[in-house]
């Protein structure tokens, strides 16, 4: 009786010889975390916020800058209270607009101090509010008052600054340190050099503080800025006054019954 022979036509596969199959590039975390993928990480910090702003129908923002170290019960606590009240007043005002989108949404850096006060006031008024947070070794953690769909975490400072400028129609600058000065002067420079498509209203809150910290008149005296550059900033010392400046400036340049295109750079 004959015995069947094994089928020699089918090769025997040794599992140890099977080639490693790499994941597709967009799911390869090792690659995405590498220096070669830095451009993709930067691009994602543009595209993800853009997607959320569109989904949430956010047209533009009023940005609040100020120190993370100003606490509600601290020695400069009145600025916390004023930022909270002003954000609430702004949000109540913009709720009366009938544009189908969200106009002049209160936006902050997402952390504690003045940032928290701004987000808190806007949320207490029942409005949406934006937090552009960034990972730092201290001080910076997202505060609980930000609209969840509009809470962002950035790695790159320059992409965070882009989003501060890109949607902003007004800037409310409360007392602060290096970070506040950096953010404020960058937007002042963009306004001075006409690199913004639309006019941005800049209000410094706390006249005595800002005129002690920055001697604007000395900058003019020494020829570092032009006299007309002083018109780029206005000063306010209470929430009602700040709201009036915002309403006058914003309705002059952006009628409340018209939904404009998003503010953008000229380039």
2-26 per-position pLDDT tens digit: 555 555 566 666 666 667 788 899 8
Domain of residue 156: give its range. 30-253
The pLDDT of residue 197 is 79
SS3 track for 209-263: HHHHHCCHHHHHHCCCCCHHHHHHEEEECCHHHHHHHHHHHHHHHCCCCCCCCCC
Asked whether residue 9 is domain-assigned, the answer is: no
99: CATH: 3.40.50.450
Question: Distances in Å between the alpha carbon of 61 and those of 34, 73, 91, 128, 257?
Answer: 34, 28, 11, 10, 16
In a domain, 69, yes or no: yes
pTM to 2 decimals? 0.86
* Torsion from C-alpha of 244, 245, 246, 250, nearest 10 degrees: 110
What pLDDT was estimated at residue 62?
A: 98
Say yes or no to pLDDT of 151 above 80. Answer: yes
In a domain, residue 164? The reply is yes
pLDDT value at position 253? 65
Q: How many domains does the chain have?
A: 1
**Residues 27-58 pLDDT 10s:** 999 999 999 999 999 999 999 999 999 999 99
Output the average pLDDT for the chain. Answer: 89
At 266 the pLDDT is: 44
**CB of 65 closer than 8 Å to CB of 173:** yes
pLDDT higher than 50, residue 263: no
Interval 141-154 mean pLDDT: 94
265 pLDDT exceeds 90?
no
Q: Is residue 86 part of a domain?
A: yes
Paired strand residues for 64: 172
- The predicted-structure confidence for 201-253, as pLDDT tens digits, reads as follows 999 999 999 999 999 999 999 999 999 999 999 999 999 999 999 999 998 76
Average pLDDT over residues 173-189: 96
Whether residue 24 lies inside any domain: the answer is no
Q: How many CB atoms lie within 10 A of CB 19?
A: 5
Farthest CA pair distance, the chain: 115
Confidence of residue 135 (pLDDT cuts 50, 70, 90): confident
**What is the model's pLDDT at position 1?**
53
In a domain, 81, yes or no: yes
Mean of the pLDDT values across residues 75-91? 97
| 1 is a domain residue | no
262 located within any domain:
no
């Amino acid at each position: 009786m004959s015995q069947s022979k094994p089928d020699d036509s089918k090769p025997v596969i040794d599992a140890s010889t099977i080639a490693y199959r790499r994941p597709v590039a967009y799911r390869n975390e090792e690659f995405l975390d590498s220096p070669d993928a830095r451009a993709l990480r930067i691009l994602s910090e543009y595209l993800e916020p853009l997607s959320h702003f569109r989904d949430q129908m956010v047209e533009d923002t009023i940005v609040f800058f100020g120190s993370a170290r100003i606490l509600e019960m601290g020695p400069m606590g009145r600025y916390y209270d004023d930022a909270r009240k002003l954000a609430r007043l702004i949000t109540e005002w913009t709720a009366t607009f009938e544009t189908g989108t969200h106009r002049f949404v209160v936006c902050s850096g997402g952390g504690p101090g003045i940032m928290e006060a701004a987000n808190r006031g806007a949320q207490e008024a029942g409005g949406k509010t934006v937090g552009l947070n960034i990972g730092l070794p201290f001080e910076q953690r997202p505060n609980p008052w930000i609209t969840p769909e509009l809470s962002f975490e950035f790695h790159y400072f320059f992409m965070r600054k882009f989003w501060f400028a890109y949607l902003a129609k007004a800037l409310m600058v409360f007392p602060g340190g290096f970070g506040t000065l950096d953010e404020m002067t960058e937007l002042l420079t963009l306004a001075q050099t006409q690199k913004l498509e639309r006019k941005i209203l800049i209000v410094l809150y706390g006249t005595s503080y800002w005129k002690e910290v920055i001697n604007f008149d000395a900058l003019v005296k020494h020829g570092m800025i032009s006299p007309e550059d002083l018109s780029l900033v206005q000063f306010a010392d209470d929430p009602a006054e700040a709201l009036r400046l915002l309403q006058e400036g914003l309705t002059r340049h952006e009628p409340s019954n018209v939904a404009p295109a998003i503010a953008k750079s000229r380039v």
